[in-house]
């Protein structure tokens, strides 16, 4: 069961906005791959300069990322996760332009509950400025949340929510281009007590890091963006043939494939392959598929369809298989599961052994 960390903001952690900013100042020379600080939801977020004047220049607001993993607040170590994204820069025009683009994407998708949006921004001590993106209570990266333990119901909910985010983004004519575990934040919420007195734990997933998000028709076909382990097989083939990465490939399929890989990783809790290739045994299992939709799997089919996975039959098979296997594993005794290769009945080995071709 996924639960929050007691040192995190929102559950008693002592971090304040002033402390967060001071820590960013101290660590500004240590750039990492992401920047993030938790800020209490009660902290007022205002777009003002230290003197109280409103800032009107986008170029002086948005910024590259500096990651804080943890820091000392008095005698206590505060762990910092990706609940609140705080981005800082020193005035570099290219970096500012990139980060401004991300903010605009966040504004564009602000109405979707599972895509990062801009909560506000703060300017301090120009030209070093920061922007604050949406607060995710008890937020963890998806990898961290899974390592802490997530139920199958929680995982399926995350899949459904991110599928909805991908579909919404595509419906607007945009593609993310870097969908992966690291770019999904997960928070936990607790529902009201049920009739039996129990309280149910739910999760809220958010697709983040919109720097690579672009209008599909404006993407440069010669410039590959993303993470290699999540690359579409056609991109790998094009690279081997020294062709443009997106040659003969819909950029929407890049997102669909990466989403499917992410789901498979969620349920296997490891990658099925380092690079998709026709000679890889695990990859071969997902190359052909015919849908079977008994009533027990209608919800899984809805999730697959909501992400627009019909753009790629292999991706459909990967996601649908992952959902079905994990549901079966947790709903049936292990002895009832057929393992065609005689493997043990762990979820990972079941995924290895099963090919869903009704």
Confidence tier at 178 by pLDDT (50, 70, 90): very high
Q: How many CB atoms lie within 10 A of CB 111?
A: 9
Q: Which pLDDT tens digit goes with each residue over 70-104?
A: 444 455 544 444 444 445 444 455 555 666 677 67
The pLDDT of residue 191 is 53
pLDDT at position 64 over 50? no
Within 13 Å and on the Cβ side, how many CA atoms surround 219?
25
User: Which has more confidence, 268 or 71?
Assistant: 268
Task: Look at the block and give the residue holding tokens 């003002």.
Answer: 48
Within 13 Å and on the Cβ side, how many CA atoms surround 338?
4
- CB-based contacts of 19, cutoff 8 Å, min separation 6: 73
CATH 1.10.510.10 positions along the chain are 140-353
| CATH code assigned to 140-353 | 1.10.510.10
The pLDDT of residue 200 is 53
Instruction: Label residue 191 exposed, middle or buried (CB < 10 Å: 0-12, 13-18, 19+).
Output: exposed
Q: Which pLDDT tens digit goes with each residue over 133-166?
A: 444 434 577 887 888 788 777 887 888 788 888 8
Q: For the chain, how many residues are written?
A: 358
Instruction: Label residue 45 exposed, middle or buried (CB < 10 Å: 0-12, 13-18, 19+).
Output: middle
Which run of H or of E encompasses 43?
none
Task: Look at the block and give the residue holding tokens 């206590």.
Answer: 76
pLDDT at position 219 over 80? yes
With residues binned 3-state (H G I as helix, E B as strand, rest as coil), the percentages for the chain, rounded to 5, are 40, 15, 45
Percentage of the residues of the chain whose pLDDT score is greater than 90 = 3
Average pLDDT over residues 168-183: 89
Which run of H or of E encompasses 187?
strand 184-193
Confidence tier at 176 by pLDDT (50, 70, 90): very high
**Across all residues in the chain, what is the average pLDDT?**
59
User: Which has more confidence, 182 or 55?
Assistant: 182
Q: Name the most confidently modeled range: 6-15, 91-100, 248-257.
A: 248-257
pLDDT at position 113 over 70? yes
Q: How many CB atoms lie within 10 A of CB 136?
A: 23
pLDDT at position 192 over 50? no
User: Which has more confidence, 35 or 108?
Assistant: 108
Of 209, 221, 220, residue with least CA distance to 178: 209
User: Long-range contacts for 56-60 (Cβ within 8 Å, ≥24 apart)?
Assistant: 58/100, 58/103, 59/93, 59/96, 59/97, 59/100, 60/91, 60/96, 60/123, 60/126, 60/127, 60/129
The pLDDT of residue 314 is 57
Confidence tier at 188 by pLDDT (50, 70, 90): low
Cα 177 to Cα 213: distance, rounded to the nearest angstrom: 6
Confidence tier at 175 by pLDDT (50, 70, 90): very high
pLDDT at position 22 over 50? no
Cα 179 to Cα 156: distance, rounded to the nearest angstrom: 17
Confidence tier at 174 by pLDDT (50, 70, 90): very high
Of 224, 222, 246, residue with least CA distance to 234: 246
């Amino acid at each position: 069961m996924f639960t929050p960390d007691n040192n995190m903001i929102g559950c008693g952690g002592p971090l304040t906005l002033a402390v967060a900013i001071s820590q960013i100042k101290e660590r500004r020379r240590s750039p990492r791959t992401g920047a993030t600080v938790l800020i209490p939801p009660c902290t007022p977020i205002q777009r003002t300069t230290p003197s109280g004047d409103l800032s009107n220049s986008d170029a002086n607001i948005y910024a590259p990322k500096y990651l804080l993993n943890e820091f000392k607040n008095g005698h206590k170590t505060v762990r910092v996760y990706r609940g609140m994204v705080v981005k800082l820069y020193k005035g570099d025009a290219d970096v500012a332009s990139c980060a401004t683009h991300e903010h605009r994407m966040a504004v564009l998708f602000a109405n979707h509950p599972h895509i990062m949006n801009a909560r506000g921004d703060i300017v301090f001590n120009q030209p070093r400025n920061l922007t604050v993106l949406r607060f995710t209570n008890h937020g963890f990266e998806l990898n961290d949340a899974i390592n802490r333990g997530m139920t199958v119901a929680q995982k399926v909910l995350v899949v459904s929510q991110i599928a909805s985010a991908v579909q919404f983004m595509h419906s607007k004519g945009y593609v993310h281009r870097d969908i992966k575990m690291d770019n999904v934040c997960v928070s936990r919420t607790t529902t009201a007590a049920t009739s039996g007195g129990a309280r149910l734990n739910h999760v809220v997933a958010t697709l983040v890091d919109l720097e690579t998000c672009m209008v599909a028709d404006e993407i440069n076909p010669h410039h590959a963006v993303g993470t290699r382990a999540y690359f579409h097989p056609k991109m790998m083939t094009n690279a081997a043939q020294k062709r443009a990465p997106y040659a003969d490939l819909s950029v929407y399929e890049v997102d669909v494939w990466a989403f499917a890989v992410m789901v498979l990783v969620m349920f296997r809790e490891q990658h099925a392959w380092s690079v998709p290739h026709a000679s890889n045994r695990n990859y071969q299992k997902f190359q052909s598929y015919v849908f079977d939709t008994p009533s027990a799997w209608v919800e899984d089919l809805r999730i697959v369809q909501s992400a627009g996975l019909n753009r790629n039959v292999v991706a459909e098979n990967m996601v649908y298989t992952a959902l079905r296997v994990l549901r079966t594993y947790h709903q049936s005794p292990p002895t009832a599961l057929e393992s065609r290769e005689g493997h043990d009945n762990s979820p990972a080995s079941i995924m290895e052994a099963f090919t869903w071709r009704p």
